[in-house]
Structure 1
């Protein structure tokens, strides 16, 4: 199975060279050139790792990273940048980056660092969440019902994970929007309801209870 990466880099020549080299190393690479594109694809897709430049059109790479961590996206991030000041490194690592490499760099070092952050992420111990026959494995990004794998979208996965993390408690629509998109009030009013409907269809109508006027709950209690 190939490791899929997102490359966020506005230097086309460097990006093409990286894509070619990474493909030879067995990585499948999607490429975007600015912060807005990065935010969009990171919400809509799941990656094994992100190679992130800091100086981007339309915003900063640091802002992209902060948005990821703000919605509990733990995808490994390797910052690739020309900024070599210690303060820049500290800011990137404090914002949630897993590693930091300064341009110009040797490709073999980049590949080694990338393999290391992916390997560390796969070795993290993430609690498997279970409720009413449904199990969610955050590390593997897998959902099962009565032991059978169930295909869910990335948005559905994030919605379900937050509800299961807070089983027995009511989760508001705004909290779900924040977890799925990293912002509240900027999407269609029924979007979360659509994801909940899809999850009920796939996992059982009784799994998720609606708490009218507030949000949703998995499991008993209040």
Structure 2
């Protein structure tokens, strides 16, 4: 399923786009204000962003610039009425990947979205999200609110296991076996406790990393 954020203040247009794309196996979250999308982006980044050029609280180009500074890989498409298309071309050159002029056929918008995702390779199965945390397996990188964090190998492997099993409890035994024993390195239980403590500190004490007393740990969205 393709995860898409859509900024649109026209409820009729937003509902039509949402219903059509959801039939095409998209998960669409609609925002009537740029501020709402900005807040959501801090917690979780989708596969693609649709931005209406003119919104009640600003222009899409403003949010696009903010977004590009934090997640330059995230594909963005501007939606605009024909009279604004000249300005949108400028915005497109400054950061968006494509733009579509209103009124548009839903089939055309869908095909442009798929073409962009194929071009940028952003249908990501190797990218995990939980609250404001992102783990990118392709880059072997971890981000918090767009800021890249430096983790040790055991810390990264623990977080990866928890992210892969988001919503499920991973036992301490499983973590010890998969992170250390698989490499032929036996460690005691206290090593895991210390590593988790260091991981929490580097992740800025995230509420989404929960301790399940006497069992293990679980990643779980809280926002």
Q: TM-score, normalised by structure 1?
A: 0.59
Q: Runs of 5+ in structure 1 lacking a partner?
A: 125-137, 143-150, 166-191, 203-222
- Is 2:61 aligned against 1:57? no
Partner of 1:74: 73
Q: Distance in 2 between matches of 1:47 and 1:116?
A: 17
C-alpha spacing 1:161/1:35, structure 2 compared with 1 (3 Å): closer
Q: Distance in 1 between matches of 2:5 and 2:53?
A: 14
C-alpha spacing 1:123/1:46, structure 2 compared with 1 (3 Å): closer
Tell me the C-alpha RMSD between the 2 structures: 3.1
Partner of 1:118: 117
Q: CA deviation at 1:95?
A: 2.4
Partner of 2:143: 158
Report how many residues are paired: 153
Q: Runs of 5+ in structure 2 lacking a partner?
A: 135-141, 152-199, 211-223
Q: CA deviation at 1:101?
A: 0.4
SS at match of 1:39: helix
For 1:1-222, what aligned pairs fall within 5 Å after superposition?
Answer: 2-85=1-84, 87-122=86-121, 140-142=126-128, 153-155=131-133, 157-159=142-144, 162-164=148-150, 195-197=203-205
Q: Distance in 2 between matches of 1:70 and 1:123?
A: 17
Maintained 8 Å contact 1:10/1:56: yes
Q: CA deviation at 1:29?
A: 0.4
Q: Distance in 1 between matches of 2:84 and 2:9?
A: 21
1:50-82 superposed Cα distances (whole Å, 9 cap, x missing partner): 111010011111111010001234211111111
Larger radius of gyration: 2
1:130-151 superposed Cα distances (whole Å, 9 cap, x missing partner): xxxxxxxx98325xxxxxxxx7
